[in-house]
Structures are given as C-alpha cells and as structure tokens.
Structure 1
Amino acid sequence: MFSIAKQSFLFGRKLAGISVPRVCFLHYGASSNVVANAVKFGSHDGQRRPTAKMPKLTDIGSRTLFGPEQDSFRETVRKFFQKEITPHSQAWNERGYTDKEIWEKAGSCGLLGINIPEEHGGIGGSFADACIIMEEHKYGSEEQKQKYIPDMTAGKKISAIAMTEPDAGSDLQGIKSFARKDGSDYILNGSKIFISTGWLADVVVVVAVTNKEAKSAAHGISLFIVDADTPGFKKSWLMKKIGLGASDTAGLFFEDVRLPASALLGEENKGFYYLMNELPQERLLIGVHACAQSEFMFEETKQYVMQRKAYGKTLSNLQTIQHKLAEMKTEICVARAFIDQCIALHEVQQLDAQMACMAKIWVSELENKIAAQCLQLHGEAGYLYDTPIARAYLDARVQTIYGGSNEVLKDLIARQILAPAKKI
C-alpha cells in the first residue's frame, strides 16, 4: 500500500515535466528521446552496447540491464508521452497541475503499478521495469491493498505522501502532527507543506506522531491512510514553484480528523522505520531521473550547436565547444554506469543507504551542472522560458533539495565512513 502511494507521489513529480524523458524513465531507469523518430540502435553480435557507445545517449537498445521486450515497451511508453503529455505540458505548467484524466489514460495503458503484484491489481513486473515504483508492499493490510491499489493502478485515484511540515523537512523526527488515540479510533491534528500531488490527491499517506512519550521520536511515529473527503481534512492553495510547474504542490491541514483503526498503515509507532526502508529507493530514483534528464539535455544541446552558426561556421566547429561536449558526455556516461550498478544491486536487494545517498548527491548535482552548461551553449535562446533547455534548467534545481537535501545526505554518508573508527 505504501509502495503504490510512493508511485503516485513520484509519478506526479515527473508527470509535471515538459520533456518526454522526464517520465519515460519510470519504467526502465533510463532516458528517452523527445524526437518522434527515436533511433533504435543496440545489439551488436548479440551484445548490448553501453550508453557511451550509442550514437545518442537517449537511444533505445543499450545497457545490459534490459532486453528486447523492454526496448519494445520503452518505445510504446515514448509514444504515449509524445502523444498525451508533450502537447499539454505548457498549459499544465501555467495552470499548476495536470488533468486528472491523464492518470486514467496512463493506467489504461499499463503505465502505473508496473511492479505491483498481479493479485493486488498491478502489472507484476520488476524494479528494473518500473524503476521509480517501489517494490515493497508489506506495510498495507490485505483490506487496504484491495481497497486502494486497483484504483491507483488504473489511475482512478491519485495518492500523495504527507511528510514535510513547516518545521520538519529532511529531519522526519521533528514532525509535530499528532494522532491521539480515542477508543479504537485516532484523532489527527496538524499540517503539512510542499506536498507533491497534494492538490489532486484522492488519498494521502500521512506521517504523524502517535506516542509523545516514546524513548525517541523515531519510536513514536505512525503512518495513516486519509481519504480526501474525510471531515476535517482541508487542502491549501496551489504553491507556485520555479520549476516542475505542472506538478501540483499544496499544503494540507488536519483538524480533529477522526480515523478508524483500519486507517493505520502497518503497525503503530513503526512508521519512521517504514520510511527509512523506502527512502534509499526514492533517492536512487532521483538519481535515475537526474541521469536521464542529463542525457536529454546533452542531446538537445548537441543538436543545437550543430545547427547554430557563428563567425561563418557552426558552433560545433569551435574547439572550445567540442571540448565542452566531450567533458559533458564523459561525466554523464560515468554517472549512467554508477546508476545502472545501483539499479542492478537494488534488484537483488543489495543497495544500501550509503550508496543510494551517493547516487542522489552525485547525479543530482551533475544534472544542475549539465543544465547550466547546456543553457550557456544555447546562448540567449536558452534563456527563453518556453525552450526545453530553459525549463530543464529550472526543473533541475529541486533535485538537490527533495528526497533529503544533499547536505544532510553527506552527513549520512560520513557517519557510515567513520562508524568503524568510532568502534575502535
């Protein structure tokens, strides 16, 4: 149950994007191509080529993680986003949210619930197939799974995860929302802020304190499933952001919201540990998206400098431009190799928190670096808001912030590095 909520939460973030690559990675952890006639160039003597050897970083058919069936499905996914998403992206960005109908279209095409078990209404694929869709389903009861997952997979219900509060962001132990016991029910009070898909959400997984006397804050946090029409649950205005314009973001308010015991997700006071188990996956997926977007920006820029003329020849004839392209491709391909290694490790449950943090930090910062360099190479054209490179530049900025700020994640990595020394 928590997994499918995570899916809607992250899918909503990426659905908001302008370019096709922003969403196609949902299924394979790789980039896609905004060009309608994407090049299919992969196998050679039975071997799949690494990304670095492909004519374009966004070409289908590379990477040993995937096979011909997944390549075929990737093409289907690209066509869906080119047809159903790209034509509406500017209007959605200006409005601040997408049409609800697009979720149902995605669900009818099998683009949601990719790795949710078939018995719960999902597709039954793997993490490599879904990549951004969480593979853990153990927290929800059978009743909760049957009630929510089929509609979420079909796109009939949109979900959100309400963690962040005005005074608690990366530090989840600082949350103040409180659900007190009242007989067998809970009475929820509190507020949340910066909640992705919060405006459109039909159901929200809310993080709240249930035991103020616990030995530590982590031991007193629980998760609750709250339907949008529950009395006392209100949504604030749409928040205007500098990027990801079509990803609706809102504040949520809970005033004496009465919840039955069946609304508790998992066990009482175990919510913090459920979240900690899922966060490495989210951080990997931010890295996955950042790598895909870096590939997209590189290809957009390569195409531009091969056409744009200055001093009687194209920009691509200038050595300084050639060197910059060489540097960017090298860095992106190194990032791609690391991200693919993380995906492969996660498939066999070998990805740890430290490595997921590394992936998120390194590739999100690379995305921002690539965005700045690609915009610079576009010149004034890159500064126009309606160009793909300008919007990619704005969208990239949040990648180092959500999912745990990069500064906080560096602390987590450092703790693990120094942990053996502390034991001596």
Structure 2
Amino acid sequence: MNDTYITEEHELFRKSLRKFLDKEAYPYYSQWEKDGMIPRAFWRKMGEQGFLCPNINEEYGGSGVDFGYSVVINEELERVGSGTIGIGLHNDIVIPYITTYGTEEQKKRWLPKCATGEFISAIAMTEPGAGSDLASIRTTAIKVDDHYVLNGEKTFITNGMNADLVIVAVKTDTKVTPPYRGISLVIVEKGMKGFTRGRQLNKVGLHCQDTAELIFDDCVVSSENLLGEEGKGFYYLMEKLQQERLIVAIAAQIAAEEMIRMTMAFIKERKAFGKAISSFQNTQFKMAEMVTDVEMSRAFLQKLIYDHMKQKDIVTQVSMAKWKCTENARRIATECMQLHGGYGYMEEYEIARRYRDIPVASIYAGTNEMMKSIIAKNLGL
C-alpha cells in the first residue's frame, strides 16, 4: 500500500540507508551477536551519515525532518536484526525528552554529540521491584545545595553498558500523595561520582543489545541536570510513552514481515515427499493466515503513524497496535520456525534468532497486559 506520510524524499533516504546498512551492518551483525555489543564505531558511522537523531533541529546537529524519517530508520534497522532496537531508543525515545523538556543550555550541551554518535543515551525507569508500576520506584534523589544525591538501582536498561547519558526516573519527594507526584527526571552522565554499571544481562535474545543494571550509590548530580520541573517526571513519561510504544509496534511489524519473507523462500525450496512443502495445503493455509494478519496490522499501523505525525492523541489505538503487533510477531515466529522443520532450530538459519528475539517485545515499553488495561480503561470499563 502507499503510505500517506511517505514521500519521494523518504524513499531516497531509505535507499541511502539500505546501501549504508548493506556495507556497515549486515556483514557484521553475527559478530555483534557474539560480542554482545554493537560497537561504538558503528554509532559514529550512523551519525556521520545523518542517521542519528534526524528529528532534532539543525542548530543542534540534526536535520529537522519529520517523524517519517524515523519510521524509515527503525524499519530498516529491524530488517538487519532486532538487537538494533537501542538505536531507535536513542533516536526516538530518549532524545525527545531532551528536545521537549530540556533547557537551551542542556540542548546545546548534549544534543550535538547525540547526533554524531559520540554520546549514546538510555532511559532508566525499571527497577528490580518496580516494572510497569512506575509510581512504586524507590530510587531517590535528595536535593543538597546545588546538586542531587541519587541512591538506588535500575535494571533491564537498554544501552546500559554503552550509555554516556541516562535519563533516570527518581523520587525527589517520597512523602507526597499520590506517590507519582514525587517523580522527577534527572540526567546522569558517564563518569559521575557514585554512578556504576552492574552486570551486562545475559538475555534469551537480543544478544548484541547491551542491556544492563545501573547502580547509584550516593551519586552526585548537578541540579542543572534536572530535566523539566521537579515532580513532573511521571507526566513527562506518560506523554512520551505513546511514541515509545509506536516504535515497538513498528519494529514488531517489520520482524513479522521479515519472518514471513524468509519462510516463503524456504518453503518454495524445501522438498518433502518429492515436492515443495509450499504445495501442501497446511503450509498454504498457515502462510495465508500469517500474510493476512500482517497486511491488516500494517494498514492499522500506517494510519496510526500518520495520526501521530499530526500530533493526535491516539494512546488507546497505539496501545492496541503495541499489543497486537507484538503478539502477531510472537505467534508468527513460532509458525515460521515450525515450517522450517528441524532447520528452524539451527542457529545458522535466521528464523532461530528471530524466534528468540521477538518475545520480549510483548514485555517492554509496558507489558501487553498493561496495554489491555489501558484500552479497557479508555473504553470506560
């Protein structure tokens, strides 16, 4: 289908990005998986070519282009592999907090280096005892003169090992009622006293994505690193979650399309009982079901992207897309692996990697159970 937000300029940009990824990403992705890390050199190359933070204004090192360019970047990176999700997080989840709530001094200090890839960013919300329930976070930031003292731990932090800047959700007021009114956002920088990284977490999938624990032990952060106003952090997080969940839905959609593409090629080549397995009715029905599901979800997703670019409030619909696209992808991964037979369980086949990479998409950015709760609440239930 023709995307209403995609122009000739977007497609030229996509062509340029694909050429870059063909040279700089696809040949090395397997090694990145073994290394457990996407090298900083790749981030720098992305920045040099204008593929990082394209939405920020030119005065801060970006291109000032629309969200359609971010969609293109996220789609093409997902085609390489789901482990690239940290780049989308940097571009479209973390940086918008700074562009929206940051002071002019903060923007000038951080954004240019984020656009070049010199700085890698992360956002730290989840704690060992607080996931979807953000109001229950226990990391504190106590104001002392002209700085804050942070104490607490965060976990499951995307880009956690590489990050130079981390937006940390903290409690600046532990006594206020309701508790979410005490949440603020502060930016912790690499090298700050009391900021250390714990383990790089050993995940089932997304092996090249450096997910880590972060520890704040009397971490001293200048009050100049407060993002926005004290006590407004929860509201800021809620406002930005629409785009975060849309990014997750886009990635899941592309993952599903890629799994169908590779499975289609396999079933046409693989023979059993003297003929291609694509000729078996069961195979045909499975493929028909999966293709129908991704076509329908694609149409819905495209409308949401367009509405999001028009700055419409589509929280309910994005919650639907995040839930449905990730569930589709998880089911399609299972079906496609089954159609590969024993080969689908072999690491040399990409479907094996996709099978272990995709399940987490139904957990992060708010579990799918939370998405259903949001939908139900907004339906008046």
The normalised TM-score by structure 1 is: 0.83
Between the aligned partners of 1:239 and 1:184, the Cα distance in structure 2 is 34
Residue type at the aligned position of 2:19: K
Counterpart of 1:375, as a letter, is M
Map 1:199-214 → 2, pairs under 5 A: 199-214=161-176
1:286 to 244, 248, 255: 248
Superposed CA offset, 1:155-183 (max 9, x none): 01111111110000111111000001112
Structure 1: stretches of 5+ with no match in the other structure? 1-49, 51-61, 420-424
- State the SS of the aligned residue for 2:285: helix
Alignment of 1:82-97 (within 5 A): 82-97=22-37
**Any idea what SS the aligned residue of 1:255 has?**
strand
Q: 1:313 aligns with which of 275, 279, 290?
A: 275
Stretch deviating more after TM superposition (261-270 or 73-82): 73-82
How far, CA to CA, are the matches of 2:375 and 2:158 in structure 1?
27
Question: Which protein, 1 or 2, shows the higher relative CO under an 8 Å CA cutoff with sep ≥ 6?
Answer: 1
Q: Give the Cα–Cα distance (whole angstroms) in 2 for the partners of residues 244 and 72 of structure 1.
A: 29
1:139 to 101, 104, 108: 101
Tell me how far apart the structure 2 counterparts of residues 247 and 66 of structure 1 sit (CA, whole Å): 29
Alpha-carbon distance between aligned partners in 1 of 2:196 and 2:48, rounded to the nearest angstrom = 30
User: Does the aligned pair in 2 maintain the 1:104–1:155 contact within 8 Å?
Assistant: yes
- Name the aligned partner's letter for residue 219 of structure 2: V
Letter matched to residue 258 of structure 2: F
Residue by residue, what CA displacement relative to the aligned partner does 1:324-349 show, whole Å, maximum 9, x if unpaired? 11111111000000100110110111
Q: Counterpart of 1:193 in 2: which secondary structure?
A: strand
Q: Is the 8 A contact 2:4 2:306 kept in 1?
A: no
Aligned position for 1:40: none
Q: What are the ranges of 5 or more consecutive residues in structure 2 without an aligned counterpart?
A: 72-87
The aligned counterpart of 1:39 is: none
Query: Following TM superposition, by how much is the alpha carbon of 1:65 offset from its aligned partner in structure 2, in angstroms?
Result: 2.6
Partner of 2:299: 337
> Where does residue 5 of structure 1 map in the other structure?
none
Structure 2 residue aligned with 1:394: 356
Q: CA deviation at 1:184?
A: 2.4
Q: Which residue of 1 aligns with 2:369?
A: 407
SS at match of 2:244: helix
- The answer to whether the 8 A contact 2:252-2:329 is kept is yes
Alpha-carbon distance in structure 2 between the residues aligned to 1:378 and 1:152 = 41
Which of 49, 64, 75 is the matching residue for 2:15? 75
Question: For 1:26-74, what per-residue CA distance to the aligned partner results, in whole angstroms no more than 9, with x for missing partners?
Answer: xxxxxxxxxxxxxxxxxxxxxxxx1xxxxxxxxxxx4333122211211
Q: 2:3 pairs with 63, 68, 86, which one?
A: 63
Q: Deviations over 1:344-363 (max 9, x none)?
A: 11011114221111110000
The CA deviation string for residues 214-251 of structure 1, in whole angstroms up to 9 with x for no partner, is 12111110111111100110001211111100000110
- 1:90 Cα shift? 1.5
Q: For the structure 1 residues 351 and 392, does the alpha-carbon distance in structure 2 shift closer, same or farther, using more than 3 Å as the test?
A: farther
Q: In structure 1, what is the Cα distance between the partners aligned to 2:55 and 2:243?
A: 14
Counting matched residue pairs gives 359
The one-letter amino acid paired with 2:65 is G
Instruction: Give per-residue Cα distances to partners, 1:373-393, cap 9 Å, x unaligned.
Output: 111111111101232111011
Q: Give the distance between the partners of 1:260 and 1:323, measured in 2 at CA.
A: 60
Amino acid at match of 2:341: G
C-alpha displacement of 1:89: 1.4
- Confirm or deny: 8 A CA contact 1:291 1:335 kept in the other structure: yes
* Percentage of matched positions with identical amino acids: 41
Given that residues 342 and 351 in structure 1 are in contact (C-alpha distance below 8 angstroms), is that contact kept between their aligned partners in structure 2?
no
Give CA-to-partner distance per residue, 1:95-120, whole Å, 9 cap, x none.
Answer: 21111110000000110011111122
More helix by share: 2
Q: Deviations over 1:281-301 (max 9, x none)?
A: 111111111111111111111
Structure 2 CA distance, aligned partners of 1:90 and 1:241?
16
CA deviation after TM superposition for structure 1 residue 203, in Å? 1.3
CA distance in 1, matches of 2:49, 2:167: 25
Identify which of 102, 114, 129 aligns with 1:167. 129
| Residue number in structure 2 paired with 1:379 | 341
Amino acid at match of 2:69: D
| Paired position in structure 2 for 1:355 | 317
Partner of 1:21: none
Alignment of 1:109 with 2:49, yes or no, is: yes
RMSD: 1.2
- The residue aligned with 1:124 is 64
Q: Contact (CA 8 Å) 1:306, 1:314: kept in 2 or not?
A: yes
Paired letter, 2:126? T
Q: Which stretches of structure 1, 4 residues or longer, exceed 6 Å deviation after superposition?
A: none
Distance 1:115 1:209 in 2: 30
Contact 1:167 1:175 in 2 (8 A): yes
**SS of the residue 2:217 aligns to:** strand
Amino acid in the other structure paired with 1:234: T
CA-to-aligned-CA distance 1:292-335 (integer Å, 9 cap, x gap): 11111111111111111111111112222112111111110000
What residue is the counterpart of 1:151 in the other structure? 113
Distance 2:9 2:228 in 1: 36
Deviation at 1:187, TM superposition (A): 0.8
Q: Identify which of 205, 213, 226 aligns with 1:264.
A: 226
1:93: how far off? Answer: 1.2
Residue 371 of structure 2 aligns with an amino acid whose one-letter code is L
